[in-house]
């Protein structure tokens, strides 16, 4: 059985070394017995994927690998997977599983009862939606406040300008917010437009929802941390029944390495705010990466 290889972004200034943001994880991987190789994230985004993987050792026998790095568009991840396969390296999260966990339309159906109601529409950058586009989309949410994002990220730092919609039945107002989100995302717009029903969550000292990030490897919860944006590094205690309910949806999703961001709604219900591919989910700054890398190293694959 083969021990996975860990792939991390290279340091732009010293390309043979891991990016400083991921250096602690690379060290933890080494401590867990994993080999580490660097890839050039900027080259991937520029479309030069063969150059991006040139420092990944070739393998005669298929070599399984995890990626831990900056977020990649699903199409770029697929190109990365193909380039690695040409070197005998196979990502344990294939491109279909990555898209499924990374983009809301891929994971939503498995989490419908646990997450705010959502609608979406494919959309590309460079064209602003009109009321004729937005009206039919938001109609399915039956009014009330909502939030808009693309398939992956929101503009939460421009909350009232490009994220929060006070009333979804106000199509003109909703259109202004949706169009501004599309405008600000520019070429980084991922997949399309998502509109979600707004739910009120318990807030931390900074006014942000008190989210907890749960890390799942092969369907098992291996680590629970605070959200990287949280004011406090201490994760809110999560009841066991929440792990059970969320874990069932994670297992139904079928992706091997997943994160779920959960938060306590003001009425006392735990809800899933976001699902992500674990390879591109960030750890809090002070979090020891050893437990996570230990869990990833424990995955054994028969070539």
In three-state secondary structure terms, 237 is: coil
Residue 184 lies in a domain: yes
Per the structure block, which two tokens stand in for 275?
């699902």
Sign, CA torsion 8/234/115/119: negative
Last residue of a domain, one of 197, 214, 245: 197
Domain ranges, residue 86: 5-95
Residue 291 lies in a domain: no
**Same domain, yes or no, for 212 and 228?**
yes
Between the alpha carbon of residue 74 and those of residues 8, 71, 246, the distances in Å are: 17, 9, 24
pTM: 0.95
* Alpha-carbon gap, residue 85 to 64, rounded angstroms: 10
Q: Look at residue 302 in the predicted model and tell me its pLDDT.
A: 60
Residue 297 lies in a domain: no
**Same domain, yes or no, for 154 and 220?**
no
| Structural domain count of the chain | 3
Last residue of a domain, one of 146, 162, 197: 197
10-residue mean pLDDT series, the chain (303 residues): 89 96 96 95 96 95 95 97 97 98 98 98 96 97 97 96 98 98 97 97 81 96 92 81 97 97 95 98 94 93 62
**Same domain, yes or no, for 224 and 250?**
yes
Q: Is 200 exposed, middle or buried (0-12, 13-18, 19+ CB in 10 A)?
A: exposed
**Same domain, yes or no, for 232 and 275?**
yes
Q: Look at residue 209 in the predicted model and tell me its pLDDT.
A: 81
Residue 248 lies in a domain: yes
CB of 39 closer than 8 Å to CB of 68? no
Last residue of a domain, one of 63, 95, 127: 95
**Same domain, yes or no, for 17 and 45?**
yes
In three-state secondary structure terms, 27 is: helix
**Same domain, yes or no, for 90 and 15?**
yes
Residue 290 lies in a domain: no
Go through 245-264 and write b for each residue having 16 or more CB atoms within 10 A of its CB, e for each that does not: bbbebbeebebbbbbbbbbb
DSSP 187-218: GG--SEEEEEE---B-B-TTSSB-EEEEEEET
């Amino acid at each position: 059985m083969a021990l996975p290889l860990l792939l991390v972004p290279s340091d732009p200034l010293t390309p043979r070394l891991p990016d400083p943001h991921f250096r602690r994880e690379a060290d933890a991987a080494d401590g867990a017995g994993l080999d580490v190789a660097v890839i050039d994230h900027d080259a991937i985004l520029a479309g030069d994927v063969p150059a991006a993987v040139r420092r990944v050792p070739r393998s005669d026998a298929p070599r399984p690998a995890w990626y831990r790095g900056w977020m990649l568009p699903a199409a770029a991840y697929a190109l990365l997977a193909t380039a690695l396969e040409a070197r005998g390296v196979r990502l344990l999260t294939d491109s279909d599983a990555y898209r499924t966990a990374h983009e809301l339309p891929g994971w939503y159906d498995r989490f419908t009862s646990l997450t705010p109601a959502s609608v979406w529409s494919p959309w590309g950058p460079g064209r602003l939606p009109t009321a004729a586009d937005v009206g039919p989309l938001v109609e399915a949410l039956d009014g009330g406040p909502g939030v808009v994002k693309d398939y992956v990220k929101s503009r939460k730092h421009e909350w009232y300008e490009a994220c929060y919609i006070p009333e979804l039945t106000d199509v003109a107002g909703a259109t202004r917010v949706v169009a501004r989100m599309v405008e600000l995302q520019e070429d980084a717009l991922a997949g399309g437009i998502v509109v979600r029903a707004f739910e009120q969550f318990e807030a931390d000292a900074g006014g942000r929802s008190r989210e907890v990030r749960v890390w799942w490897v092969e369907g098992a919860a291996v680590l629970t941390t605070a959200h990287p944006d949280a004011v406090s590094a201490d994760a809110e205690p999560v009841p066991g029944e929440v792990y059970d309910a969320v874990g069932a949806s994670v297992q139904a999703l079928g992706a091997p390495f997943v994160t779920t961001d959960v938060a306590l709604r003001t009425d006392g219900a735990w809800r899933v705010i976001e699902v992500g591919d674990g390879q591109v989910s960030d750890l809090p700054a002070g979090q020891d990466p050893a437990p996570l890398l230990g869990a990833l190293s424990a995955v054994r694959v028969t070539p």
